A = this chain, B = another copy of it.
Amino acid sequence: MRFEEARHREGASALARLGDLADRYRRVRAFSERLSRPLAVEDQVIQSMPDASPTKWHLAHTSWFFETFVLSAADPGYRSPHPLYGYLFNSYYEAAGERHCRPRRGVLSRPTVEEVREYRRHVDRHLLALLDRAADGEAPEWAPGVELGLHHEQQHQELILTDIKHAFQANPLRPAYASGSSPLTPFPLPAGERGLPGERGLSGWISYPAALREVGHDGSGFAFDNESPRHHAFVGAFSLASRPVTNREWLAFMADGGYTRPQLWLSEGWKTVGAQGWDAPLYWEQKDGEWWTMTLSGMRAVDLEEPVCHVSYYEADAYAQWAGARLPTEAEWEVAAEDCPVAGNFVESGAFHPRPATDDGSTPLRQMFGDVWEWTRSAYLPYPGYRPFAGALGEYNGKFMCNQFVLRGGSCATSRTHVRRTYRNFFPPDARWQFSGVRLAK
């Protein structure tokens, strides 16, 4: 649903849904708090690279979003707790004014974690009051902004997890995010399943005939602007792997010189391999001849049956070259996903890590949703007829349509209520700190 059209269309139904919106607001906001609970105050301040942000910055920025795009517009009496919060917690909205330099978010000790929590409570009080007042009158035009703000906050919940994972790996002490004492149950790996020598089953190929298809979001329910409009696309015959590439398969790629043969790589990818010294997925470490990986629950031996994770587009593409296959286009992925339920290993499982595929017979394609984001070979570009959200929110997605690739399907750090079949995630081809994996096509 496009944001600006939404303002009008929502009308009648929105009113009825305001109560539901307030409930969801409370749930989503509380989940952010819950995610930060296992962290020490010190953990919430640090920034391990320019692309990542401190936890407390995420907690504040998502509040700033409601403040800026809902409260400031809807409530003339609203005042931010501090006149500089707008400067500190604007991420990239040029239309919302100057902002603090992104790579320097980790040098801000103030506001403190407690002051940020107070900021959240301040915004919550005003926003819930606003929703409460609106319940008596006409459908408010700011309601879609609340909806957008919740999806926005869910995106940052995923980043809270990926960013703290990156930060913890920068520390030789290798702190664990989730432990036994965590309120979120850690990933219970089935006994006897680690590093089994036997293969649990080859990936199969599922075939799809050539056809003129429709892809993109049809306007029923929430979607980001970049998923619209729904449009025709000719999709040639293709086959999709029945499950993502596993660590076992990735180790075979590595053993076959995957990271040392330039012929397999895109030119920019090969440069990155050299400059960054890549020889395995991010977070993998070799100890005594065995590969270990850092997870949010601490260091673990690499599980051979898990989907490979934390690989870049460059690596995904090189792997596909090596395997004599290719990555799917996003249209192919979307066509195939039509028959798959939006279910899987999402953040709610508390695993915070991809799990091996299980064959429950329910669908030929396994793990299309959850576990790992799947790189497509589609550059992140506007759909035919794309129009960005109106106003400052037009900067939400459109201005990043350059030098990025689309990922599909969500990961173990994504909320189940956040993802869709038409959902287009995007990252530059060298990004590895997201839970990103590979599904082959041919």
Contacts and interface: CB of A to CB of B under 8 A. Distances in A.
Given A172-B100, A270-B94, A402-B269, A236 B385 contact: yes
Contact of A267 (B92, B110, B270): B92
Contacts of A87: 172
Interface stretch (A19-27, A40-48, A148-156, A293-301): A40-48
A212 B210 CA distance: 13
A175 B112 CA distance: 11
Interface string A91-110: 01011000010001011111
Interface in A255-303: 262-263, 265-270
Contacts of A100: 172
Contact of A399 (B88, B267, B379): B267
B236 A170 contact: no
A232 interface: yes
A267 B400 CA distance: 6
Contacts of A395: 263, 267
A172 B381 contact: no
A171 interface: yes
A111 interface: yes
Contacts of A112: 40-42
Interface in A333-387: 377-379, 381-382, 384-385
Nearest to A232: B234
B109 A106 contact: no
Contact of A109 (B108, B171, B232, B234): B171
Contact of A110 (B40, B210, B384): B40
A394 interface: yes
A88 B45 contact: no
A189 interface: no
Nearest to A167: B107
Contact of A377 (B84, B94, B262, B381): B381
A262 B109 contact: no
A46 B94 contact: no
Given A41-B41, A42-B41, A234-B234, A266 B110 contact: no
B232 A233 contact: no
A107 B48 contact: yes
A110 B172 CA distance: 9
Contacts of A269: 402
A94 B379 contact: no
Contact of A172 (B46, B84, B266): B84
Nearest to A269: B402
A200 interface: no
Nearest to A237: B384
A175 B115 CA distance: 14
A109 B266 contact: no
Nearest to A41: B41
Given A263-B95, A402-B429, A429-B403, A46 B234 contact: no
B45 A170 contact: no
B236 A84 contact: no
Interface of A: 40-43, 45-48, 82, 84, 87-88, 92, 94-95, 100, 104, 106-113, 167, 170-173, 175, 210, 212, 231-234, 236, 262-263, 265-270, 313-314, 326, 377-379, 381-382, 384-385, 394-395, 399-403, 429
21 contacts: A40-B109, A41-B42, A92-B267, A94-B263, A108-B171, A108-B173, A110-B175, A111-B173, A210-B232, A232-B236, A233-B234, A236-B384, A236-B385, A266-B399, A266-B402, A267-B399, A267-B402, A377-B381, A379-B379, A403-B403, A403-B429
Q: Shortest 3 CB-CB distances between A and B: which pairs?
A: A379-B379, A94-B262, A42-B109
Given A41-B41, A106-B107, 15 more contacts: A41-B42, A42-B42, A42-B109, A42-B110, A43-B109, A43-B110, A47-B107, A94-B270, A95-B263, A104-B170, A234-B234, A266-B400, A268-B403, A270-B399, A403-B403
